[in-house]
């Protein structure tokens, strides 16, 4: 059968006997009809358009079927494709939409088909995720279609809205940043704000095969940094991640002051602290423990999960962390840091008391404590 199909396709390409081709296509099964229809469309577009209504709705939702659907769109028979799509399984429809989307940028026929599909399907266009075909299709009409939906707000189908936000940002690139800023500022729902913030990295093509667009990333990062003081705490956490994706590590770090503005000191700094525990089993079998307690000041560029790393360099150079070596034994050094900066010294002291209590080894008769000098992170 495969040999026969190949011979038939070769014959179609050579002589384009339209009458015979049309007759054989209409008589063929759905698997065979798809490549035959593509051949007919290449030979005679109007002839293919005349049989599309009978052929396309019978096809299988696979790559040959998608090629035939695209050929039908090219010859002006997009209505046959619209009749075919509802019969596909959900995954097949998703693949068909992606296949159509891949051709959108370079095909005015496909662009027109998608605009018409939106008119025909109305809200179902978005519910069925047709917007996935628009992501890489950068024409005024297509980008405008996405922008219009975004302007209408989340509505009930929040999943579709978030998907369209991503598609719009990817499609419009730097032109989307201003709208994203406006939407974030006007939004009261934190979950929606977070999805809008994530879209800043989509605008810069982060994570794509093409790679990060450095120029757009710079624009997006600057806009996101400016939004920092206006964001609720949970949204700031996501802005931090997004800025890191945009390769703005400095901006990502400086958001910390907005995240913890409620506990900032009078001079705008953040108060941190740490307890460094030294445990040692000496050569003679004796168990020893020593705590180093330190208060730390940060100018507003260190997140709680960065305190340990930034503290280590100071501790290893300036402190005597030699409990194990001093008794020719083996030991462990553990850095204990808070999950958030402290509002005041009383909060720091209470935290130290609790941390040392929980981490004191009951087998040690006398635990030593050293209060180290204040450090700057």
Question: What pLDDT, on the 0 to 100 scale, is given for residue 15?
Answer: 66
Q: At which residue do the structure tokens 């399907």 appear?
A: 121
DSSP-derived 3-state class of residue 368: strand
Residue pair 44/18 in contact by the 8 Å Cβ criterion: yes
d(CA 227, CA 203): 16
Return the pLDDT at 16: 84
| CA gap 167, 132 in Å, rounded | 7
Angle formed at CA 306 by CA 304 and CA 307, multiple of 5 degrees: 70
Q: Are 142 and 172 within 8 A, CB to CB?
A: no
Within 10 Å of residue 2's Cβ, how many Cβ atoms?
A: 6
> Which pLDDT value is given to residue 5?
42
pTM of the predicted structure, to 2 decimals: 0.84
Low-confidence ranges of the chain (pLDDT < 70): 1-15
Q: What is the pLDDT of residue 61?
A: 94
Phi-psi region of 344 (alpha: psi -120 to 50; beta: other; left: phi over 0): beta
Q: Nearest Cα to 84, choosing from 74, 70, 98?
A: 70
DSSP 8-state class, residue 275: E
Q: Exposed (0-12), middle (13-18) or buried (19+): which is 21, by Cβ within 10 Å? A: buried
pLDDT digits (tens, 9 = 90+) for 2-29: 344 444 444 444 468 999 999 999 999 9
Cβ distance 330 to 279 under 8 Å? Answer: no
**pLDDT at residue 154, as a whole number:** 81
Pairing of the two strands 287-298 and 368-371: parallel
d(Cα 222, Cα 243) in Å, to the nearest integer? Answer: 9
């Amino acid at each position: 059968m495969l040999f026969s199909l190949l011979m038939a396709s070769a014959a179609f390409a050579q002589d384009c006997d339209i009458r015979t081709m049309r007759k054989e296509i209409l008589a063929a099964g759905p698997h065979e009809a798809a490549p035959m229809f593509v051949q007919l469309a290449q030979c005679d577009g109007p002839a293919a358009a005349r049989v599309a209504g009978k052929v396309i709705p019978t096809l299988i939702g696979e790559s040959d079927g998608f090629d035939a659907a695209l050929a039908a769109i090219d010859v002006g028979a997009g209505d046959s494709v619209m009749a075919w799509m509802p019969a596909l399984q959900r995954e097949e429809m998703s693949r068909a939409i992606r296949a159509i989307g891949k051709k959108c940028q370079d095909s005015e026929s496909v662009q027109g088909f998608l605009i018409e599909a939106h008119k025909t399907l109305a809200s179902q266009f978005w519910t069925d995720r047709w917007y996935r075909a628009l992501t890489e299709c950068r024409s005024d009409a297509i980008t405008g279609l996405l922008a219009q939906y975004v302007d209408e707000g989340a509505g009930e189908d929040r999943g579709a809205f978030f998907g369209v936000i991503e598609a719009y940002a990817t499609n419009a690139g730097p032109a989307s940043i201003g709208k994203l800023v406006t939407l974030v500022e006007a939004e009261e729902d934190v979950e929606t704000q977070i999805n809008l913030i994530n879209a800043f990295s989509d605008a810069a093509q982060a994570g794509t095969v093409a790679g990060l667009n450095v120029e757009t990333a710079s624009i997006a990062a600057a806009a996101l940094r400016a939004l920092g003081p206006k964001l609720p705490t949970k949204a700031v956490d996501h802005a931090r991640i997004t800025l890191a994706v945009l390769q703005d590590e400095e901006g990502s770090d400086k958001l910390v002051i907005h995240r913890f503005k409620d506990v900032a000191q009078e001079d705008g700094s953040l108060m941190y602290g740490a307890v460094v525990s030294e445990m040692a089993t000496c050569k003679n079998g004796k168990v020893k423990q020593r705590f180093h307690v330190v208060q730390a000041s940060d100018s507003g560029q260190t997140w709680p999960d960065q305190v340990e790393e930034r503290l280590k360099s100071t501790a290893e150079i300036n402190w005597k962390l030699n409990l194990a070596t001093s008794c020719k034994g083996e030991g462990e050094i553990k850095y204990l840091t808070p999950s958030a900066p402290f509002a005041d010294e009383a909060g720091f002291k209470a935290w130290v008391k609790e941390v040392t209590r929980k981490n004191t080894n009951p087998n040690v008769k006398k635990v030593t404590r050293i209060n180290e000098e204040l450090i700057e992170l």
